[in-house]
């Protein structure tokens, strides 16, 4: 049974967002109890689910700083300066994310990060119960039933308020939908992914450049690799579920066996093939992961329940912002709870602030998939990128690149999206029909930029 203390609350999910929120709320004097359906990932041999690497950017780092855990997390992080684009002929090209090493992102391993945040949540005073899957909720009575899947035993609790940080398959969201019809829909991408591994080199170092996110773009599909601090790379292959008629593209329907995936790599990723010695075994042992975008009309039920992170707005991973957005949610919710009482007002204020921004990054993540798989080696895109960098140098407080706003700043996602769309039009129109930047009318561009793009706070 949970406490009747009005300053007590119950979190569902001890993943990344749940643990970070538990730290922030415990620091504010809330009595936090977390229930997690899986076992404790700190117990040796426990499989904690997805291992896909995560890209930590400024939004996420800011949230970790607020919680006082950034230093512990950054000890495990590997810097990535940009995209290392691998052409079919084996040549490579580094496309920097920012202007210098002050504008980079960081690769972190999900399981290591989760364990760091679990430890910090317990130190902050949160109580964590593993092997407790939320089964049913009586919102009126304030009772919930949890199940231990090891023996199917029920565990009934009393709660003041429920907060769902239990991911895209959120059990709390399902109960909210059942009770209140909060307008849930999921749009699945017609692509899925599989994870593979590049091991360390024989001398214990990295097999390929460690300070980059590696991309093998191939039009309607691609492969990426992110570095780990143990000198491995987590490789993710994204393929259509079914090929377009007559395209001949590989897809999960046609690439099933280890022999078929080896043939695919020999044809389309020949320089990656020697790096993945367990290709066939990894392929046959790892099921494909689904990719989808979750939309909700409402994130909360009065002051009784609220969801955040992937439980409220799961997105495809192609902008590396899912975790960063969820961490921003945690700070925003904690601050809304500081400013507003009762909790119903806090949850409403949190939703009003974050929902438009979540929708914006969901849209940008879908757009970025096309850029990563199909445009990073396109001459028109590269010329637009060259112009973007030149305009940033000339107008640093007004023409701020899309990636900079999303990744190195904490500009609200909705504002970044709106400015990015305008800037993209400027770039496309200015480079149309050109093969280089000679003959560009810089004065006309300057007038347009000053007319259409106000100075952006925090730009430098």
- Measuring CA to CA, which residue among 14, 57, 53, 101 is closest to residue 309? 14
Category of 56 on φ-ψ map: left (φ > 0), alpha (ψ -120 to 50) or beta: beta
pLDDT at 1 over 50: no
Q: Same structural domain for residues 60 and 149?
A: yes
* Angle, alpha carbons 281-282-283 (nearest 5°): 90
Q: Same structural domain for residues 259 and 283?
A: yes
- The pTM (predicted TM-score) of the whole model is 0.94
Q: Encode 58-74: b = buried (16+ Cβ within 10 Å), e = exposed.
A: bbbbbbbebbebbeebe
In 3-state terms, what secondary structure has residue 134? strand
Q: How many domains does the chain have?
A: 3
Domain boundary among 366, 393, 428: 366
Q: Same structural domain for residues 231 and 165?
A: no
- Residues 19 and 120 sit within 8 Å (Cβ to Cβ): yes
Q: Which two structure tokens, joined as six digits, stand for 290?
A: 């689904």
Q: Same structural domain for residues 348 and 282?
A: no
Q: How far apart are CA 17 and CA 67, in angstroms?
A: 12
Spatial neighbors of 339 by CB under 8 A, at least 6 apart, are 346, 349
pLDDT of the residue at 36: 97
- Residues 375 and 318 sit within 8 Å (Cβ to Cβ): no
- Residue 410: domain span: 377-452
Q: Same structural domain for residues 178 and 30?
A: yes
Q: Same structural domain for residues 67 and 208?
A: no
* 321 within some domain: yes
Q: Same structural domain for residues 58 and 118?
A: yes
Quick: pLDDT tens for 297-332.
999 999 999 999 999 999 999 999 999 999 999 999
Quick: pLDDT tens for 411-456.
999 999 999 999 999 999 999 999 999 999 999 999 999 999 999 9
- Measuring CA to CA, which residue among 396, 313, 408, 404 is closest to residue 351? 313
In 3-state terms, what secondary structure has residue 149? coil
Q: Same structural domain for residues 229 and 145?
A: no
Q: Same structural domain for residues 111 and 139?
A: yes
- Residues 30 and 9 sit within 8 Å (Cβ to Cβ): yes
Torsion from C-alpha of 316, 186, 362, 376, nearest 10 degrees: 40
Burial class (CB in 10 A: 0-12, 13-18, 19+), 249: middle
* Other Cβ atoms within 10 Å of 409 Cβ, number: 19
* 88 within some domain: no
- Residues 238 and 373 sit within 8 Å (Cβ to Cβ): yes
Polymer length in residues for the chain? 460
Q: Same structural domain for residues 153 and 55?
A: yes
pLDDT of the residue at 400: 97
pLDDT at 45 over 60: no
Q: Tell me, what CATH number does 350's domain have? A: 3.50.50.60
């Amino acid at each position: 049974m949970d406490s009747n203390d009005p300053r007590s609350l119950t979190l569902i999910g001890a993943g990344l967002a749940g643990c970070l929120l538990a730290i922030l709320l415990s620091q504010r004097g809330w009595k936090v109890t977390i229930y997690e359906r899986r076992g404790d990932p700190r117990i040796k041999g426990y499989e904690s689910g997805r291992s896909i690497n995560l890209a930590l950017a400024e939004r996420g780092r800011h949230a970790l700083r607020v919680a006082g855990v950034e230093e512990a997390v950054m000890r495990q992080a590997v810097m990535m300066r940009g995209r290392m684009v691998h052409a079919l002929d084996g040549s490579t090209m580094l496309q920097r994310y920012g202007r210098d090493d002050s504008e980079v992102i960081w690769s972190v391993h999900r399981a290591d990060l989760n364990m760091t945040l679990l430890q910090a949540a317990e130190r902050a005073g949160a109580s964590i119960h593993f092997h407790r899957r939320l089964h049913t909720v009586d919102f009126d009575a304030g009772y919930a039933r949890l199940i231990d899947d090891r023996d199917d035993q029920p565990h009934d609790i009393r709660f003041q308020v429920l907060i769902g940080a239990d991911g895209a398959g959120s059990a709390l969201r399902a109960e909210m939908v059942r009770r209140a019809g909060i307008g849930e829909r999921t749009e699945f991408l017609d692509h899925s992914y599989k994870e593979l591994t590049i091991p360390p080199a024989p001398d214990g170092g990295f097999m390929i450049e460690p300070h980059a996110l590696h991309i093998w773009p191939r039009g309607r599909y691609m492969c990426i690799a992110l570095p780990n601090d143990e000198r491995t790379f987590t490789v993710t292959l994204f393929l259509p579920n079914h090929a377009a008629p007559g395209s001949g593209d590989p897809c999960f329907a046609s690439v099933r066996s280890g022999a078929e995936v080896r043939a695919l790599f020999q044809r389309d990723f020949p320089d990656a093939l020697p790096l993945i010695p367990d290709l066939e075994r990894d392929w046959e042992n790892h099921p494909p992961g689904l990719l989808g975008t979750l939309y909700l009309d409402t994130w909360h039920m009065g002051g009784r329940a609220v969801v955040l992170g992937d439980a409220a707005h799961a997105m495809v991973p192609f902008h590396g912002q899912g975790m960063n957005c969820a961490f921003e949610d945690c700070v925003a919710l904690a601050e809304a709870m500081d400013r507003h009482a009762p909790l119903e007002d806090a949850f409403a204020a949190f939703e009003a602030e974050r929902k438009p921004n979540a929708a914006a990054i969901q849209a940008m993540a879908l757009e970025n998939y096309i850029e990563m798989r199909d445009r990073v080696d396109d001459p028109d895109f590269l010329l637009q990128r060259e112009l973007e960098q030149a305009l940033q140098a000339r107008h640093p407080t007004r023409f701020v690149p899309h990636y900079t706003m999303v990744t190195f700043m904490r500009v609200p996602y909705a504002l970044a999206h709106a400015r990015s769309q305008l800037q993209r039009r400027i770039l496309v129109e200015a480079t149309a029909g050109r093969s280089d930047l000679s003959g560009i009318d810089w004065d006309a561009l300057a007038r347009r930029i000053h007319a259409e793009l106000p100075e952006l706070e925090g730009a430098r």
